[in-house]
Structures are given as C-alpha cells and as structure tokens.
C-alpha cells in the first residue's frame, strides 16, 4: 500500500497545509487505491475522480500562493449515499431514488465545503439505512476487507470499509441504531455518533428522525474528533440542533493527559450485559479491556439498568413508526421512481412503491403503520414512548454514579454473507440512539481468525469532548494496531 495512504487524517491536514505533501498526490493515490480495490470490497457506489483531482489542484495552488488553509484543505472524504450534495445523485441505495439529483446541500456538506474538503465518492449502504449488513442495498454488496467472505456490517458499511481499506482517510455515515458504530467495529476503525442535536440532520435522508445522527469513520480517534469539529453547531433548519459552543475537539486530544485522566474516571458496566449470549472472543477481549482500564487507574463500577431488556422492542416499534411516516413522502408523484403500469392514482402510489422498494423497507413500513394504527397506537407506540422515558431516567441515574458506560461494541463478530446476526447484536449501541447520548466504538483487537473486535464508550449528553478523550486514552492501550491495514 502506498505510504501516503497511511498518513493519519490529522497529520495529512498538517502536511498538506505546510506544502510538505501535495493534495493532488494524495487524491491521486486514493483514487488509484479505490480503483484497485473497489471491485473486491464494493465500498463505493460512485467515484468523483475528475472533480476531486481538479479540487485538489486548486487547493495546492491556494497553498502555493500563501493563502490561508481551510480546516480540511484538499482532504478527500467518502460520503454515505444518503447525504445530499447539491447537483449530485443521492440514491440511499434504493431503486426508488435511482435518478434523483439533490437540489441542495446538507448542512454538513455546506460546512465541509467551506472547510475545503473533497468529496471523492459516494459509499454504499443498506437501502434507506435499514439493515446491519449493507446487504439490503439495491446496487452492491459490500464485503469486509479483513476477509471478503464476511459482511462489512451496516448500514454505513461502505464508509466503514472505505476507511478500513485505506480508500479514504475518513468518511461520513448516519447512525439511527448503531449504523456507524457497528460496521466501524466489524471493520476495525473508529466510529462516532454524536449527542443527538450536536450535528444538523438537514439534508440527510431520514430514517427515524428522533434517533438519526450523522457520524464519522476514521482510522484513529483524533481523525473523528477533527471531522466532528467541522460539523457541529446550531442550524436553524434542524429544529433539534442545539446551540453548542464551537470548539475544536482535536485541541483536547493529548495522549499523556488523556491517559492520566483515567485516574479520575468512573466507568460503569451495566450488569445486564452478562444476560446476553456473546461470542467468547468478544467477552474475553472486553474483560481484557476492562482490566487495562482498571490497571491505569480507572474505577470500574457495576450499574443497574433494568430497562435494557426492552431495548430491542422499543427500537423496533419507535423506529418503524417513524419510518412509516418518513417514507410516506416516497409516493411516486413528487420525485423518484414512478410506475409506468398504473391505471389510476391509487394504483400509481401502490405500484411505484411496490416496484421500487426492497423487502426490508416494505416490512418496516408495514410494521410501522401497524403500530401507529388506531387500535395499536396506545398499546404499542405510546407505550414504547413511555418505556423510552423510563430507560432515559435509569441511564440519567446511572450517570450520577459514573462518567461513561462501557460495553463491547457488539455481541458478535462479523458473520459470513448469508448468515444472520442476532437481533440483539447491536443492543449496546442502540441504547445511545434511544437516549440521545454520544457513543464511540474503538477497535480493541482481533479474533483468532483475524477479524476485528471493538468496544463502546457512551457518555452523558453533550459530553462529546470527554468521550473523545477517553476513547483516545483507550486507543493508546488497545491491542489493535491502528497502523495495520487489511491486505487486499
């Protein structure tokens, strides 16, 4: 692998800005890597070669002329195909949006554009982000670069693989129920989901609006902190986006002081964690991680969150209810796929959806419509909202006793294509979406068959800075070598 591809995101920014490395050389190397490896892993749906090279040359000219560098000057990024870039296609990996062209930029895209980042290509995903394996994409299967017989995870599998396989220094995904953090941990990269309301969702194809957040993928924690710093902040077009102080998280990432911080940290482990069937290698790796944190001074305590047992059901009911409302805009009339076989208006609605949406999407619309129906609303949907509040209260209580909640990222390691993951596989990640809390997965080692394993830290709301700090400290003591790349 070309050495230039191994330079970590933060260093790459510095080297491009100082003129030590040319953005054009960086982008050329990444384009070549994508062209060489994409047929093996299927991470990208689309590559913007010409435009990316032009932008890179433009950044280099700017630097040569002594102009001030922007935050991500000349750095290539992969963007999940459910985030709008004005004038470009956005398929959400669905046949329904096959010919859709975005009329405006998502807020995060506006921010990345003003930071002079380069959108090198669109990454594959599960259709409308519904899934945990990237197998429901209408276009392409994405394989795990550590072993292409295994799934990448999902729904943001393309972005996870792109970073893991060294096809981009970092990438964006969306996380509604673990869709950034789960594929990140399956592929051995860092996956971060911000506190709900920290990063604007405007211009992102909605899945479940009360859970959705844009998240980041990078090889190391510092990369995620850098990327997140560009995207945070109030946006009047997303009503839940909070006015949070604009800070550069990277300034808080310092290996020595983050490691020292462990001496004053209380880490809570939910006792419910042990009720689940977990791959042996995951539990062994997790126990090792706990011991390392304890050895460096962290106080490890047990916490009790009885409502954990409701998490899979809660997620399913509320997520599907929101899906059925959000996907209702895909009616075959306003935009997207329109059936040519309809005889009347109702037929047009039905056939446009029937012909263009995949099985997983249809299943969720049906279930969501069911739980919102007059007979079931109180029994299912409203009840789920009450239990969600109960869960939030129990977690709020837990944070009176500890600073972070710590768990394995998933119950299982990645599986082979065709095998299914347990329904609860991502339970520890989904808790963060149900409660609006920030979560980050950090690679923590490999199984005997060389598949990556990860751990998950979850912080209290808007404690994202501290989350990056503990994640950085853990990265330094992790068994995973961030300088190792899969051979492709």
Footprint on this chain of ligand GLN (rule: CB under 6 A): 129-132, 155, 174-179, 207, 319, 426
Catalytic residue among 22, 80, 219, 316: 80
Residues 462, 465, 467, CA angle at the centre, nearest 5°?
A: 85
Give the residue among 179, 216, 215 at the shortest CA–CA distance from 10: 216
Catalytic residue among 59, 94, 174, 179: 179
What is the Cα gyration radius of the chain? 21
Would residue 19 be called left, alpha or beta, if left means φ above 0 and alpha means ψ between -120 and 50 degrees?
left
CB of 153 to ligand GLN, least distance (A): 9
CB of 176 to ligand GLN, least distance (A): 4
| Pick 293 or 323: Cβ nearer ligand GLN | 323
- The two tokens of residue 98 are 């096959």
| Pick 268 or 368: Cβ nearer ligand GLN | 368
DSSP 150: B
| Pick 179 or 285: Cβ nearer ligand GLN | 179
The yes-or-no answer on residue 218 being catalytic is no
Strands, E assignment, 164-271: 170-175, 190-193, 213-218, 266-270
DSSP 409: S
CA distance 25 to 290: 42
The yes-or-no answer on residue 179 being catalytic is yes
| Pick 129 or 314: Cβ nearer ligand GLN | 129
| Pick 116 or 433: Cβ nearer ligand GLN | 433
Burial label, 141 (beta-carbon count in 10 A; 0-12, 13-18, 19+): middle
CB of 99 to ligand GLN, least distance (A): 23
CA distance 179 to 409: 12
CB of 324 to ligand GLN, least distance (A): 13
Q: Which residue is nearest to ligand GLN, using beta carbons?
A: 179
CA distance 430 to 180: 11
| Pick 72 or 206: Cβ nearer ligand GLN | 206
Q: What share of the chain is helix, strand, coil (3-state, %, to 5)?
A: 45, 15, 40
| Pick 71 or 128: Cβ nearer ligand GLN | 128
CB of 83 to ligand GLN, least distance (A): 13
CB of 426 to ligand GLN, least distance (A): 6
CB of 295 to ligand GLN, least distance (A): 34
Catalytic residue among 23, 155, 307, 444: 155
| Pick 83 or 250: Cβ nearer ligand GLN | 83
CA distance 92 to 370: 24
3-state secondary structure of 203: coil
CB of 158 to ligand GLN, least distance (A): 13
What DSSP string runs through 313-350?
A: HHHHHHHHHHHHHHGGG-SSSSSS---SS-SSHHHHHH
Relative to beta strand 170-175, strand 118-123 is unpaired
The yes-or-no answer on residue 28 being catalytic is no
Contacts with 12 (C-beta within 8 Å, 6 or more apart), sequence order: 21, 26, 75, 169
Catalytic residues: 80, 155, 179
């Amino acid at each position: 692998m070309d050495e230039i591809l191994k330079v970590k995101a933060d260093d790459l920014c510095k080297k491009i800005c100082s003129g030590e490395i040319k953005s054009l050389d960086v982008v050329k190397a990444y384009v070549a890597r994508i062209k060489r490896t994409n047929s093996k892993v299927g991470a990208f749906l689309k590559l913007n070669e010409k435009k990316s090279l032009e932008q890179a040359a433009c950044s280099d000219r700017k630097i040569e002329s002594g102009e001030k560098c922007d935050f991500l000057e000349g750095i290539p990024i992969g963007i999940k195909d459910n985030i709008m870039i004005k004038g470009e296609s956005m398929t959400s990996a669905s046949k329904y949006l096959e010919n859709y062209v975005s009329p405006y930029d998502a807020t995060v895209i506006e921010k990345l554009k003003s930071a002079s980042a380069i959108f090198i290509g669109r990454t594959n995903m599960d259709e409308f982000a519904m899934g945990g394996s990237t197998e429901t994409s209408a276009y392409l299967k994405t394989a795990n670069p550590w072993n292409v017989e295994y799934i990448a995870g999902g729904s943001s599998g393309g972005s996870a693989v792109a970073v893991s396989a060294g096809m981009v220094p970092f990438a964006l995904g969306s996380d509604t129920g673990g869709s950034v953090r789960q594929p990140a941990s399956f592929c051995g990269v860092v996956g971060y989901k911000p506190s709900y309301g920290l990063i604007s969702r405007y211009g992102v194809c909605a899945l479940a609006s009360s859970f959705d957040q844009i998240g980041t993928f990078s090889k190391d924690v510092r990369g995620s902190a850098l990327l997140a710093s560009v995207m945070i902040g109030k946006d009047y077009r997303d009503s839940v986006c909070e006015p949070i102080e604009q800070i550069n998280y990277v300034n808080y990432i310092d290996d020595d002081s983050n490691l020292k911080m462990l001496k004053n940290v209380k880490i809570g482990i939910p006792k419910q964690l042990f009720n689940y069937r977990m791959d042996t290698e995951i539990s062994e790796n997790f126990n090792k991680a706990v011991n390392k944190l304890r050895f460096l001074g962290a106080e490890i305590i047990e916490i009790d969150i009885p409502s954990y047992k409701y998490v899979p059901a809660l997620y399913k009911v509320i997520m599907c209810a929101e899906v059925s409302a959000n996907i209702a805009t895909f009616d075959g009339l306003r935009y997207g796929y329109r059936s040519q076989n309809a005889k009347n208006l109702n037929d047009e609605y039905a056939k446009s959806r029937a012909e263009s949406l995949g099985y997983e999407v249809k299943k969720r619309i049906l279930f969501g419509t069911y739980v919102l129906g007059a007979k079931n609303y109180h029994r299912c949907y409203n009840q789920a909202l009450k239990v969600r509040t109960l869960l939030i209260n129990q977690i709020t209580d837990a944070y009176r006793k500890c600073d972070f909640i710590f768990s394995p990222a998933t119950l299982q390691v990645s599986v082979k294509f065709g095998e299914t993951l347990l329904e609860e596989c991502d339970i520890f990640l989904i808790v963060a979406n149900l409660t609006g809390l920030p979560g980050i997965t950090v690679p923590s080692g490999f199984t005997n068959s060389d598949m990556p394993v990860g751990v998950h830290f979850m912080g209290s709301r808007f404690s994202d800075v501290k989350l990056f700090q503990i994640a950085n400290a853990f990265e330094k003591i992790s068994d995973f070598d961030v300088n190792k790349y899969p051979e492709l």
